[in-house]
Amino acid sequence: MAKYDGIFDIFGTLKGMTFYKTKDGVLVRTKGGVSKERIKNDPAFQRTRENGAEFAHSAQAGQLVRKSVGHLLKKAKDRRVSSRLLKVMSDVKNLDSTSARGERKVALGLATPEGRQQLKGFDFNIDSKLGTVLRQNYTLDPLTGDVTLLDFEPENSLELPEGTTHVSLRAAVGRIDFETGDHITVQSAESNLAANAAAATLTLSPGGLPPGLGGFLFFYLWIGFYQEINAVQYPLKNHIFNSLHLIEVTEP
């Protein structure tokens, strides 16, 4: 490994040499690596091919979950949600105890109680976890998708960010078939309340489970914060305080 000692710092690749910064200064190395053709066919890279296939499968499964709840995800996510969900999906895939190495599937991992537990409680916005936003208990009816909050009072039931004048809540249920890639999600109407609203029982009803015979059911709760100015409600700081939480995952 050569060390670059020049007047100007260079970073990146130049004429087949890659310059990069380390704690020891700027180092340079020649561009190289194993060819794609060798990785694809050489028996020595069998494990690499197996890992790559399972990585791609886990990534597709995570993408499918994100797509299925895309409408709410736009209003409640962090910058690393894709990589965080990929990690969880990979852990779920590892629970497939029947498939050969390189062919393990997320769906077979989810068929186990441990696999569903891995996904349960996933927060799509790590900066606004439901556990830090919601101060009270709620109940989920897995037969209808209804989420109920008894004596819900925004000022006491929620951790309200400064500047909040209104809050909104939705429940959603998604049916996802990881084998076919099919998905469908139904949502409750958005329940919008003033931040100082009086306590009342709040029921968020998606209107029943999404149709279909196959696939797993994903139950979600979304909470959004708004600031009203001149009778118009604006997302508080561009949704950064909003929460989207995966309440439960059940078998078909």
User: Has residue 125 been placed in a domain?
Assistant: no
* Higher-scoring residue by pLDDT: 151, 28: 151
User: Has residue 14 been placed in a domain?
Assistant: yes
Rounded CA separation 220/247 (Å): 5
Average pLDDT over residues 25-30: 56
Q: Are residues 174 and 83 in the same domain?
A: no
Instruction: Write down which residue in 87, 119, 151 finishes a domain.
Output: 119
Average pLDDT over residues 31-46: 60
* Higher-scoring residue by pLDDT: 140, 40: 140
User: Has residue 124 been placed in a domain?
Assistant: no
**In DSSP terms, which residues pair with 234 in a beta bridge?**
227
pLDDT digits (tens, 9 = 90+) for 74-117: 999 999 999 999 999 999 999 999 999 899 999 999 999 999 99
User: Has residue 60 been placed in a domain?
Assistant: yes
User: Would you state the structure tokens that stand for residue 66, as one six-digit string?
Assistant: 């994100």
Name the residue range of residue 90's domain.
39-119
Rounded CA separation 148/202 (Å): 6
Average pLDDT over residues 173-193: 96
The domain spanning residue 141 has which CATH number? Answer: 2.60.40
pTM: 0.84
Tell me the C-alpha to C-alpha distance, in Å, between residue 122 and each of 85, 128, 228: 8, 12, 30
Rounded CA separation 8/4 (Å): 10
Rounded CA separation 97/103 (Å): 11
User: Has residue 239 been placed in a domain?
Assistant: yes
